[in-house]
Structure 1
Amino acid sequence: MIFLTAEARRRRGTEGRFSAPLRLCGKKLPKTMFLCFKMTILHKIQRSSMRQANHIWQVLLLFCTFTLSAQTDTLRLIFAGDIMGHAPQITSAQTGKDQYDYTPCFKYVKPILEQADIAIGNLELTLPGKPPYTGYPMFRSPDALATALKKAGFDLLVTANNHSNDAHALGVTHTIDALRKEAFLQTGTFKNERDRSTLYPLMIYKNGFKIALLNYTYDTNGVPTEAPTVVNLIDNEQMAADLAEARARKPHFIIVVMHWGLEYQLTENAVQREQAKFLIKNGADMVIGSHPHVVQPIRMERVSMPDGQEKEALVVYSLGNFISNQQQPNTDGGILFQVDLLKNKGNPKVRLGEHGIIPIWRYIHKNAAGKSTYYALPVSRVERNQKLVPGMPAASQNAMLKYTEGLRKRLKYNELKI
């Protein structure tokens, strides 16, 4: 439906009648198109009756409808780093006997995640569905964490990582069940080979886009995968076959989420670069990394394709931690990576729109009784409003600023205004 704004209707009959913005379904028309319409209408009004001018106006608006039908589809993705479940986090979330609430952890980042069409995180733990709940080295968290992540705005969780088997087969299967109960999209681990063949690659349909998403891990810390469960491991032959299957389904865009690299290393290694280029050469359009628990560089990698053409793809080597209790240098934070995918209606070619980072810092607040609460803080919002987080001591603010200053100097990447 096309309509004039109330301001435009009030100005009917004057030259200023068309100075208010014309809207299509509530969205402003492009300025150049609007000015062209305005000048044409004004010229016709001078040469014809008002009735004729109105008729011309209606014809031009009809033309506008067809013109705008070719406008751009947009899909906003936000990727979060490692979602950890250390023992102090489990203790802090406990509200009673076998009762847990992680909702407060994400209250400050929730408004950002909710702006995404698809918010994606790396769930680096298991949800076994019953005690004992434990942290490192065998991560087993209560289902309440899944509930809180869903409330926070996450839509999709990848589960192939080195802790996938921490609760053995039960951990794999119940994690999947708990995520399905909360209506999550999930991939990387499967109850059995039949589920993998049916559900993988994960196909996502949103805003006119068809996206294929794949997920792999380098290992499961030596804990064997118990039949019939499946954990996707990094294997070139298998990944090439999976990417071929993804291409056969003709998606608009292919994303691969990799659990790779070396912990606590601030730069990607040669193996990561080699694997990234292998994935791109086999069809990946974007590669997102996790596992090092620190943020690593974001690069546009270029490869030569079999047909001789060059292909570029964005690689985020490591997002760092989203929330954890890790204390090693540079592990107290990470980034959200936000990217807009753009596609003209009727044209399957996808291009990158605005994209950049949103620094996140893990804040541990202790109340008067000594009970801790873990928060994932969007740094720039706290920088603008130091009263955003009540009771945040100066020492914590200084630690946050020190972490973020180092991150910005190392990464030197576009930081989005939020």
Structure 2
Amino acid sequence: MKTRNVKMFATGDIMLGDMPACYGFGVASKILENGHDFPWQLVKQKLDDADILIGNLEAVLSEAGRNPLWLPSLYMRGSSNCIPVLNEVGFDVLSLANNHMMQHGAIAYMETVAGLTQCGIQCIGDSTTTALKCIECKGIRFGFLAFSMRPEEYKPGKQLYVLASAEEIVSEVSKYAQTVDHLVVSLHWGDEFVSTPSIQQIELAHKLIDHGASLVAGHHPHVAQGIEPYGNGLIAFSLGNFIFDMPFQRTKESMVLEVVFDKESIVSHSVLPIQINDQHQPEFVDGETAERISRDIRQYSTQSCETHQQYQLQVQSAFEAYRRSVKKNYARSIFQFNPFYLAQLLALIVLRRITNIHI
């Protein structure tokens, strides 16, 4: 039987809570004001074009452990009521392998997994279930794996999501690549806010394609990075943010990656530029804005750091730019904060500077 092509959309990071820097007026607050479908209103119609929709869920969707008197229990988490909406939007697969999924503890994590699974969304990067998740679409069998390579900051010890080394990831890809027509690998890796991957990331991505992966989709930097066709596969080093409330302009412009597959290969790929508006809603853009975002991504695709030192200088510069933007946001938004939570937030900032402890 002749198969038809399958169109897959891959999105960047999805965070349906409020960040500390936007607590009270971030994503979750906009949802509370406008309804659970609010973040998706400007993109849902286009996302419906995908045969398979995948993304990275950056925070739990659970009420477990919430304490209205303790700010760290409230930020970087969404409501469980958001889960059915993810299904309605069309998500088939979500990665949970990232450094924020255990921030609110094991119960909140497990409730998120259970809710997504009940809605028919495959959870990848979850160490409590089978590593490989599969979808058959139009006669083509797809396999999905997810791994985090970032150190856990909130809950030391064994994690419920998959935390793995480069060697372990290569081994898993080799193990499963021949069992499916196409293997998609989601990686939470790299450094925040930098527009180029490290030499080690490039080498690992090439190894994964060499060992049978068709698509490597990167997350964590919160900004878009380049796209590289390599061998028989495709590497998107970072898809940036999709839904987030970061107060930094560079994190508000990214993409949805469209990849078209036949049974044997990737037929084509394209960048669908997006911009996150002042209400924290992503929207597909066109015209000059779309061309500028696409041009930037093409430029990133030709850039690389020749040495580790050069890469670290870029990381440091990017992080300093982010910190300056956050400080300006605090000054601009100071009167939007609840004074009770603002006092806690300032105390936590001082504590983190002194101890480097994440709460």
- Give me the TM-score of the superposition, normalised by structure 2: 0.74
Is 1:230 equivalent to 2:160 in the alignment?
A: yes
The amino acid that maps onto 2:132 is: P
Distance 1:176 1:289 in 2: 21
Partner of 2:200: 271
SS at match of 1:214: strand
Greater share of helix: 2
Partner of 1:339: 259
Partner of 1:359: 273
**What whole-Å deviation, never above 9, does each CA across 1:75-128 have from its counterpart, x for those lacking one?**
110000011232321112115xxxx83202212211111111110111001123
Distance 2:132 2:192 in 1: 27
Would you say the 8 A contact 1:217–1:260 is kept in 2?
yes
**What whole-Å deviation, never above 9, does each CA across 1:248-301 have from its counterpart, x for those lacking one?**
5x2111111111111111112212102212212322121111111111000123
The amino acid that maps onto 1:89 is: V
> Could you tell me which of 11, 14, 18 is aligned with 1:80?
11
Partner of 2:62: 128
Would you say the 8 A contact 2:271–2:294 is kept in 1?
no
Structure number with the bigger relative contact order (C-alpha 8 A, sep ≥ 6) is 2
CA shift for structure 1 position 222: 2.4
Would you say the 8 A contact 2:131–2:145 is kept in 1?
yes
Matched residues, number = 289
Distance 1:207 1:241 in 2: 29
Question: 1:110-189, aligned counterparts within 5 Å?
Answer: 110-130=44-64, 131-132=66-67, 139-189=76-126
> Could you tell me which of 190, 200, 216 is aligned with 2:131?
200
Partner of 2:297: 411
Distance 1:202 1:266 in 2: 30
Unmatched 5+ residue regions in structure 2? Answer: 300-359
Q: Which structure has the bigger radius of gyration?
A: 1
> Could you tell me which of 237, 254, 268 is aligned with 2:183?
254
Is 1:215 equivalent to 2:146 in the alignment?
A: yes
Partner of 2:244: 324
Greater share of strand: 1
Partner of 1:90: 28
Q: Does the C-alpha gap of structure 1 residues 225 and 283 become closer, same or farther in structure 2, counting only changes over 3 Å?
A: farther
SS at match of 2:248: coil
The amino acid that maps onto 2:237 is: Y
Would you say the 8 A contact 1:215–1:258 is kept in 2?
yes
Is 1:108 equivalent to 2:42 in the alignment?
A: yes
SS at match of 2:225: strand
SS at match of 2:54: strand
SS at match of 2:49: coil
The amino acid that maps onto 1:363 is: N
Would you say the 8 A contact 1:123–1:158 is kept in 2?
yes
- Give me the TM-score of the superposition, normalised by structure 1: 0.64
CA shift for structure 1 position 138: 5.6
Q: Does the C-alpha gap of structure 1 residues 354 and 297 become closer, same or farther in structure 2, counting only changes over 3 Å?
A: same
Unmatched 5+ residue regions in structure 1? Answer: 1-68, 302-310, 344-349, 365-372, 384-400, 414-418
Partner of 2:339: none
Distance 1:135 1:223 in 2: 11
Q: Does the C-alpha gap of structure 1 residues 138 and 112 become closer, same or farther in structure 2, counting only changes over 3 Å?
A: same
Would you say the 8 A contact 1:276–1:315 is kept in 2?
yes
Partner of 2:309: none
Distance 2:292 2:273 in 1: 11
SS at match of 2:5: strand
